[in-house]
Amino acid sequence: MGSVSDDFTTPEQADFAAAVQTGLSQRPRTIPARFFYDLRGSELFEDITCLPEYYPTRTETALLRRHAADLARLAGQGRPIIEFGAGSATKTPLLIAATGASTYVPVDISGEFLEQSVATLAQAHPQLRIVPVVGDFSRPLDLPQLNRPLTGFFPGSTIGNFDHAAAVDLLRSFRQTLGKDARLVIGIDTVKDVPVLEAAYDDAAGVTAAFNLNLLHRINRELGGTIPVDAFEHRAVWDAAHGRIEMHLLATRDVEFRAAGQNFTMPRGETIHTENSHKYTLAEARLLARSSGWEPTAFWTDADGLFGLHVWTA
């Protein structure tokens, strides 16, 4: 049959190969953003979170610190915390400390990165029970046996990667996974001035460009790709109609290459759409909660309204 999935060993690589075959064959060409996060991509993302232009991480971290007492009251005390997308070693301990959680269940698609972040967290919190789950949280999950009710944690505005219909589906499935009386602590980036948004996704040091271009290197490394990476440039643009930042890889000349067992040609000026990062006003965020079966319970933002931290109740 010649399905490329026969030629790549791990399920994750088969998934990646299928996404590249489909995504590079369609117009506009698209590769889903979850494929950014191989080990190198995860490292580059950590670097992004420290950039001066990239306001979300430090703003959300400050909100978690400032509202520790509110979180203790509203996010459920002593409950297991299920984090969708493995935690950075900075945000997760803040929620664990605020709520007095004794069990932490990080879920991440990158097994390697999960191992690293679990090791870091275990060292700093020897008394914490950590139960890592390797998997794609946008699909149904097998959670280990846990004391319920549960508190979900979905920081960083990862929800922004999903279009509205997919976001509703995802948040509904979180509610299903977390069950009765669950809480969800979710970080959602806000709509703001376009220059601030575009700078956050096209930083002066070029780290976000490297993060975007790493996707092409990853195809070359893992899927037998021959993509001339130097023919591509990073682009980040605000799409007002969709309320999102779009990231693209722009072909600066005509290119021909192989990837995932297929030949591709791209004329100069064409792009590969690699990421959407949706932003929500407070009203839109609350509508998102209610559309997916959650009740918005609390919301905090910083003085400049750069980022929103929400608690929702099942």
Q: What are the CA-CA distances from residue 313 to residues 76, 93, 114 (Å)?
A: 10, 21, 27
| Greatest Cα-to-Cα distance within the chain, rounded to the nearest angstrom | 59
Q: Does 214 engage in binding with ligand AVJ (CB under 6 A)? A: no
Q: Which of residues 154-173 bind ligand AVJ (CB under 6 A)?
A: 156-158, 160-161
Q: Does 277 engage in binding with ligand AVJ (CB under 6 A)? A: yes
- Cβ proximity to ligand AVJ, 8 vs 84, nearer residue: 84
Q: What are the CA-CA distances from residue 182 to residues 153, 157, 312 (Å)?
A: 11, 19, 9
Q: Which of residues 34-53 bind ligand AVJ (CB under 6 A)?
A: 48
Q: How many CB atoms lie within 10 A of CB 254?
A: 12
Q: What are the CA-CA distances from residue 279 to residues 195, 229, 313 (Å)?
A: 14, 29, 21
Q: Does 208 engage in binding with ligand AVJ (CB under 6 A)? A: yes
- Give me the least distance between CB of 201 and ligand AVJ, in Å please: 5
- Give me the least distance between CB of 95 and ligand AVJ, in Å please: 17
Q: Does 84 engage in binding with ligand AVJ (CB under 6 A)? A: no
- Amino acid identity for residue 251 in this structure: A
- Cβ proximity to ligand AVJ, 99 vs 161, nearer residue: 161
Place of tokens 């990062």: 277
- Point out the residue whose Cβ comes nearest to ligand AVJ: 277
Environment class of 11 (CB within 10 Å of its CB; exposed 0-12, middle 13-18, buried 19+): exposed
- Give me the least distance between CB of 145 and ligand AVJ, in Å please: 30
Q: Which of residues 121-160 bind ligand AVJ (CB under 6 A)?
A: 156-158, 160
* SS3 of residue 279 by DSSP: coil
Which residues contact ligand AVJ (rule: CB under 6 A)?
48, 56, 156-158, 160-161, 201, 208, 211, 275, 277
